[in-house]
Amino acid sequence: MEPTRTHSHGGSLFQELAPAPDPPVYATTVAYNKDPSPDKLHLGIGVYRTEEGNCHTLNVVKQVERMLANDLSADKEYLPITGMPEFNKLSAELIFGCGSPAIKESRVATVQCVSGCGSLRLGAELLAKLYNQHVVYLPEPTYGNHPNLLSAAGLTLKTYRYYDPKTHGLDFQGLMEDLGSALTGAIVLFHASGHNPTGVDPTCEQWEQIRRSVRLRGLLPFFDCAYQGLVSGNLDADAQSIRMFVCDGGECLVAQSYSKNLGLYGERIGSLSIVCKTADVAKRVESQLRLIIRPFYSNPPIHGAAIVTAILKDRGLYKEWTAELKAMSDRLVGVRRQLFDALCSRGTLGDWSHITKQVGMSTFTGLNEDQIDFLTKEHHIYMSYDGRINIGGLSSKAVPYLADAIHDAVNRFP
Ligand SMILES: Cc1ncc(COP(=O)(O)O)c(C=O)c1O
């Protein structure tokens, strides 16, 4: 028998561990931070920034934080396992609409989660533990952490066609064919709006065809809603795809994040909602979620939920939030237009109209790895190797610099 190794023998118990690589988006951030160039641009990580390049904190959030700090009656008692009840109620209403029949009929189980990633992981844990089909179809391409989150829970990953590199738009035919041949009962992950990384969303008519196909084949839709309000500037419009599925009385899961639309990245606040056929099933589902959460992190933190709840329950604050969101989404549209115009005015080789056709925080530029490598090495522009840039991280004053650099890269590696 091997002798037990202890620290008293000098070596670490973890000596044999191989160093793990940084996830790509963090590796890009590390490289960016090390770069001393004053011109450097970070268009990798999905954070909405000000014209000065700082992470944007919404005024309404600052206001609520002051209110919370002044409220000396608030204590730090543990929240329930499923989080703050008022937060859950208001979050469900935000996603499904106040008049949603599913909410009125108490068919929705909503629990507070550790932002979008935590909501996705919790949903995946529930499905891996209790749902009879473990195959999940992801759009190709998709948010880089989706495969990690879902496979870590024990689900088996497959993909469905989504993006057409020739048109820089939706491969609707491929998508419908792949849904049509998906395994019966399989889980299908959809981006509710503002698809990351492509910025390509189906139209309402296409969503309706997708919905019919999903229901026909008995697939289970799992929506990831990370950009509600930032895509069109309207919270209801950006949840429309989800609401179409809820309207038909069928079941679905929704992971909701307040990272981007309230700028609460580091607060890690979101929710998981599971829409069920009956109130009785929703109660059982919620009880099972409690069983998963308790040995995981016991119960969620207070602060982010308190901020969101204060905004969602107050008519005036909610109005301020929607006005700020509209301004943020207008800025995204404006910067897209400026980048497109700047490339056109330079006569940069290629058709760049997809930059203005795509929506939300992500733009899939179509730049190849050589061009991206060149942009980083020669022009200090950091972005992911799939060609996605975070439009939310691009200021108007940086547009000419980026356009010059793209022009240069395309000429060098046509
Ligand atoms: C599509 C998508 N889902 C989920 C997330 C995770 O967000 P959160 O920070 O809320 O965990 C992101 C973040 O970029 C995202 O783009």
Give the CA diameter of the chain.
74
**Quick one: tokens of 79?**
């929240």
Q: What is the pLDDT of residue 367?
A: 96
195 lines ligand 1 (CB under 6 A): no
**Of the residues 25, 143, 363, which should be mutated to test ligand 1's pocket, given the most ligand atoms within 8 Å of the CB?**
143
- Average pLDDT rounded to a whole number, residues 69-77: 93
pLDDT at 15 over 60: yes
Peptide linkage before 36 cis (omega within 30 of 0) = no
Looking at the predicted structure, is the pLDDT value of residue 13 above 60?
Answer: yes
pLDDT confidence band for 1 (50 / 70 / 90): very low
Domains assigned to the chain: 22-57+330-412 (3.90.1150.10), 78-313 (3.40.640.10)
Q: What DSSP letter does each residue of 113-139 carry, written as one string?
A: EEHHHHHHHHHHHHHHHH-S--EEEEE
258 within ligand 1 shell (Cβ under 6 A)? no
Average pLDDT for 314-325: 98
CA atoms within 13 A on the CB side of 27: 8
CA-194 nearest atom, ligand 1: 1
What is the reported pLDDT for 10? 75
Ligand 1 centroid, distance to 289 Cα (angstroms): 21
Strands 41-42 and 252-257: unpaired
| Residue 227 CA, ligand 1 centroid: distance in Å | 8
Quick check: CB of 270 below 6 Å from ligand 1? yes
| Span 240-294, pLDDT tens digits | 999 999 999 999 999 999 999 999 999 999 999 999 999 999 999 999 999 999 9
Q: What is the tens place of the pLDDT at every residue in 359-383?
A: 999 999 999 999 999 999 999 999 9
Pocket test for ligand 1, best of 117, 193, 198, 225 (most atoms within 8 A of CB): 117
At 273, give phi and psi (nearest 5°). Answer: -115, 135
Please report the pLDDT score of residue 8 as a whole number: 54
Distance CA 368, CA 311 (A): 42
Question: For the segment 30-44, what is each residue's pLDDT rounded down to a tens digit?
Answer: 999 999 999 999 999
Q: In what order do the strands lie in the sheet with 135-140?
A: 108-114, 269-275, 252-257, 220-225, 187-191, 135-140, 156-161
Ligand 1 neighbourhood includes 115 CB (under 6 angstroms): yes
pLDDT of the residue at 7:
53
Is residue 226 within 6 Å of ligand 1 at its C-beta?
A: yes
Q: What is the whole-number distance in angstroms between the Cα of residue 86 and the centre of ligand 1?
A: 23
> 116 CA distance to ligand 1 centroid (A)?
5
Distance CA 198, CA 408 (A): 23
pLDDT digits (tens, 9 = 90+) for 325-354: 999 999 999 999 999 999 999 999 999 999
Residue 198 banded pLDDT, cuts 50, 70, 90 = very high
- In ligand 1, which atom is closest to the CA atom of 115? 10
Smallest CA separation from ligand 1 atom 2, residue: 226
